Chains A and B, each alone.
Chain A
Amino acid sequence: MIRHPLAWGAWTVAALAVAFIDRNPYLQAVMLLVVINVYLPYRGRRRAGVWKFAVALALAPILFSVALSRFGRHVLFTLPPIPIIGGNWTLDAVAFGASTGLALLLTVAAFAVLQTTVRSADFVAILPRPLYRAGTTVALALAFAPKTLASFQSIREARQLRGQRTGWRAAPALLLPLLLTTLERALQYGESLDARGFGSGRRSRYRPFHWTAADLVVVTASLAAIVAIAVLPAVPYNPYLDLAPAVPNPERLVAIGLLAVPALTSSLLRVDRARHHA
């Protein structure tokens, strides 16, 4: 089973390279299959929101492209000369938007896999020593935003229960307790960090990371995929020039197939959920 954060980091970098570079629909479909395969052994019920967001993100470019682009040769229908949306609505624009949306979907999917498989604390723990403090600060800052939003909702609900106004006119009355709550939380964070000896040295781990054979295989496959994707010529796709995509060369398919190694190892070795989430 793959546990080392660096192995998942290497896989994510390779997956993002494919998502950013390859716009050929065949390669994008294969990459989507790869990401789904890698995600399946680690899937849980809580991540449905991320995938819904990813699908919405993938659909948005299609709507924007088909509604705003007047280019293309395969006309679906023609609207009267209404500003912005009037004119030919083309299949070429749909294909261009779908290609862009699929690239966004793959990007979010790669990060969703990383988020599912690696805890942010584990990533901070493996950062190089010069980046450890900055990484911890960024992780805390990122965690601060949703907690501040939750505090704002709590204060708002408390005011509603008391029958007080919650509109924009009540903003000063909402902001003051929010500011005090945020400052109090910041002090708690500071004391927690101090109690854990933050800044005095590298944080120790109860269970240090160990490289397994599966981790090494994934890192090797991911690095090989990155090199192959960078070296092999990309298969371009521009639906405005030719709607039909070119079939990708086998070498590039193999490079993307290397990213399915985590799914392969998971199918051969059972995923230990308790150990994975430890």
Chain B
Amino acid sequence: MWLGAAAAAALLAALLSFRPAHAAIHHAALVVQHSSGNFITRCVAFAENQITGLQLVGRSGVQYEAQAFGSIGSAMCQLDREPSTVPSGCFGSGPYWQYFHRQGGGWQTSAFGASSSPLHDGDMDGWRYAAGANQAPGNVAFASICGAPAASATHMAVAPTQVNPAPTATPAATPSLEAFAPSASANPKAALTSTGPSTQPPKSTAIAPWLALGTMAILLLTLGAVNLRRRGP
């Protein structure tokens, strides 16, 4: 029974580790909405399986100032030169940068700080400078920033560069992005950044650790079978 349970646990862990082999280059989108209503969007390519929200901002080329708060993570104090000066204590007393993830066609408040939020291929982060809680950015589709997911999965060099917003819905509370005018970003050409060569294999394809793990499991199961047969309970 114990051996069966352990084998089932190992099988479950192996299933959890499955990753598609084609996902070598990934893309994540960034939406930054200023208090004026202006916004910027960026598409960032990355070779890792995941990056953090802070890395997404950093690699997008958008200017930012963040402050670390120990184990809680980092807070965004200034983004794309807003506010003009970094407030004391990062947040100040008025509006602040609010952080959201795109989930199921809507923006969800992030449960973690940007430095602790993982982003995978096809994910989108949103920032909005506003006062009051849950002031989400306007709706925008991932495809309008990074292009179709299938096109962006394998060809980093020809990744789409459009940053033109194409809203999928216009909520009553927040204005449509069609009405927004893109702001002057510090480095508009930095919309696409790469973190490594496109031929870099993902870490999970290394065969040696898997062989070692499988060999160890087989040895232990064999040893258990020998000890089980030697003496009954």
Residues of A within 8 A of B (CB): 25-26, 28-30, 32-34, 36-37, 40-41, 43-45, 70-71, 73, 95, 102, 240-250, 253-254, 256-257, 260, 263-264, 266-267, 270-271
Give the shortest distance, in Å, between A216 (CB) and chain B (any CB).
21
Q: Please tell me which one of the listed residues B6, B118, B220, B233 contacts residue A242 in the complex, with CB atoms under 8 A apart.
A: B118
Give CA–CA (A44, B177) in the complex, Å. 70
In the complex, which residue of chain B has the Cβ closest to the Cβ of A33?
B220
A253 and B213 in contact, given A34-B220, A241-B118, A263-B227 (Cβ under 8 angstroms):
yes
By Cβ-Cβ distance, the 7 closest A-B pairs, closest first, are A250-B212, A33-B220, A25-B13, A40-B227, A247-B209, A29-B10, A36-B2
The smallest C-beta distance from A67 to any residue of chain B, in angstroms, reads 17
Known A-B contacts A32-B9, A250-B212, A270-B230; A71 and B224 likewise in contact (beta carbons under 8 Å): no
A25, B16: Cβ atoms closer than 8 Å: yes
B233 near A44 (CB under 8 angstroms)? yes
Residue of A nearest to B220 (CB): A33
Q: Across the two chains, which residue of chain A brings its CB closest to B226?
A: A267
Q: Are B50 and A248 in contact (CB under 8 A)?
A: no
A29 to B9, CA, bound (A): 6
Q: Nearest residue in A to B18 (C-beta to C-beta)?
A: A244
Tell whether, in the assembled complex, residue B206 and residue A247 are in contact, meaning their CB atoms are under 8 Å apart. Answer: yes
Residues of B within 8 A of A30 (CB): 10, 213, 216-217, 220
Min C-beta distance of B87 to chain A, whole Å: 28
Chain A interface mostly: helix
Contact A245 B210 (CB under 8 A): no
In the bound complex, what is the Cα–Cα distance between A43 and B232 (angstroms)? 9
> Which chain B residues border A257 with CB–CB below 8 Å?
216, 219-220
Distance between B36 CB and nearest chain A CB, rounded to angstroms: 32
A278 to chain B, nearest CB (A): 17
Contacting residue for B209 out of A34, A249, A267, CB 8 A:
A249
CB of B231 within 8 A of CB of A26, answer no
Q: Nearest CB to that of B212 among chain A residues? A: A250
B203 within 8 A of A: yes
Residues of A within 8 A of B90 (CB): none
Most chain B beta-carbon contacts within 10 A, residue among A29, A95, A102, A245:
A29
Using A247-B17, A257-B216, A260-B220 as known contacts, say yes or no to A26 and B10 having CB atoms under 8 A apart. yes
- Tell me what chain B mostly uses at the interface: helix, strand, loop, or mixed: helix
Do the beta carbons of A71 and B111 come within 8 Å of each other?
Answer: yes
**Could you say which residues of chain B place their CB within 8 Å of the CB of A244?**
16-19, 204
By a CB distance below 8 angstroms, the chain B residues around A271 are 230-231
Partner of A245, one of B13, B50, B230: B13
Q: Are B223 and A267 in contact (CB under 8 A)?
A: yes
Q: Within 8 Å CB of A240, what residues of B?
A: 112
Name B216's contact: one of A41, A73, A242, A253 (CB within 8 Å): A253
Closest to B11 in A: A29
Q: Is the pair B50, A241 in contact by a Cβ cutoff of 8 Å?
A: yes
The answer to whether B209 touches A248 (Cβ under 8 A) is yes
B16 & A247 in contact (Cβ 8 Å cutoff): no
- 7 further A-B contacts with Cβ under 8 Å, apart from A36-B3, A37-B220, A244-B17, are A26-B17, A33-B224, A36-B6, A241-B116, A247-B17, A257-B220, A271-B231
Q: How far is the CB of B209 from chain A (nearest CB, A)?
A: 4
The docked-state distance in angstroms from the alpha carbon of A248 to that of B227 is 27
Contact A242 B50 (CB under 8 A): yes
The docked-state distance in angstroms from the alpha carbon of A100 to that of B2 is 19
A sample of 30 cross-chain residue pairs with beta-carbon separation below 8 angstroms, ordered by A number, consists of A25-B9, A26-B13, A29-B6, A29-B217, A30-B10, A30-B217, A30-B220, A32-B6, A34-B220, A36-B2, A36-B3, A36-B224, A37-B223, A40-B224, A41-B231, A240-B112, A241-B50, A241-B116, A242-B118, A243-B16, A244-B19, A247-B17, A248-B209, A250-B212, A253-B213, A257-B220, A260-B220, A263-B223, A264-B223, A267-B230
Pair A250/B223 contact, Cβ less than 8 Å: no
Provide the bound-state CA to CA distance between A250 and B12, in Å.
20
Q: Most A CB atoms within 10 A — which of B2, B216, B217?
A: B216
Write the nearest CB–CB distance from A274 to chain B, whole angstroms: 13
In the complex, A28 Cα to B103 Cα: how many Å? 32
